[in-house]
Structure 1
């Protein structure tokens, strides 16, 4: 769930980075000219509070603090079954995955991902999850909590310019989380 920015609250480096990425995308889309882009970037990089960041992106799509559109949020739930997504599917900006006793397998390697950063929130008390990312993607799993389970992430944790970055949060009390990059296709198997 996207949180509302409070104008007086100090911003983090991550929040500044997200605004910079949004400005860069707006420039690439032709929404900002070079001079305006340069001015907004300078202000974004020196912003100390949300109140200084908000005006920089208020007139752009996906501005922080705006409500999510239905296409930006997807909730996948089951009680005991396995949640599976693979192939050509559209990945929202925010994906909730919930199953009391089941697990999840999310393959993003062939998926349509419109956002440079996405969030996946897992609620799998007794289940495990495998998330497969496209080559070059990164993932931060620091927000995942386990009791008796484990977290194994074999992709870089810091975002890289131009690549997909996935923030994974949630709880897997007894299950495990595995995050890996896809293996390249080597042709049909005989």
Structure 2
């Protein structure tokens, strides 16, 4: 009887969403000052060329787990769609962190009737050809984080500073060919 050596299992292949998730994590690390912009560009190039999970894991291994801000014990709101529409509106409680990802669909985050117990909220957006729209009440501020990419496709008509006692939304946006649009609700 001839024995053959066992074949190594093929490495698991990564998909576009996996590459985008790693790219987002790298952009956030750059925004936090954990890697510089030159290293960010180098790692992003490797991330988008990666074929396997192992190749992606290597790019973020030295970053460790993402640390949450002190007191951030609530779970993020994660909204993902490829082609459908997601409307988050009406009365809802705003968590400290929101993740909105769309391929060709539309995600609307309407904060006008929302209850926000936090002074700072982070909204992380990734969109392919789709759109993400944010509608914030009067008094709220929205600032676009410096780690955002394709900022020409992020259009904000909201104030950048929050009024005293009102929340400030930090947008970390990564639109490819889609758009992120932000507007301030009208008074009344």
**TM category, shorter:** 0.5 to 0.7
**Is the Cα–Cα contact under 8 Å of residues 104 and 131 in structure 2 kept in the other structure?**
no
TM-aligned CA distance change 1:126 to 1:85, over 3 Å: same
Q: Secondary structure at the match of 1:145?
A: coil
Matched, 1:83 2:71: no
| TM-score (normalizing by structure 2) | 0.58
User: Aligned residue for 1:146?
Assistant: 150
C-alpha distance in structure 2 between counterparts of 1:163 and 1:126, whole Å: 32
Matched, 1:112 2:115: yes
Q: Could you list the runs of 5+ residues in structure 2 that have no partner in the other structure?
A: 1-24, 35-67
TM-aligned CA distance change 1:170 to 1:183, over 3 Å: same
C-alpha distance in structure 1 between counterparts of 2:156 and 2:140, whole Å: 12
C-alpha distance in structure 2 between counterparts of 1:142 and 1:84, whole Å: 24
1:2-17 aligned at under 5 Å gives the runs none
Q: Could you list the runs of 5+ residues in structure 1 that have no partner in the other structure?
A: 4-8, 10-62, 186-190
**How many aligned positions are there?**
124
1:122 positional shift: 0.5
Matched, 1:94 2:97: yes
In terms of Rg, which structure is larger?
2
1:95 positional shift: 0.2
**Is the Cα–Cα contact under 8 Å of residues 144 and 173 in structure 2 kept in the other structure?**
no
User: Aligned residue for 1:137?
Assistant: 140
C-alpha distance in structure 1 between counterparts of 2:101 and 2:91, whole Å: 22
Matched, 1:179 2:188: no
**Is the Cα–Cα contact under 8 Å of residues 83 and 104 in structure 2 kept in the other structure?**
yes
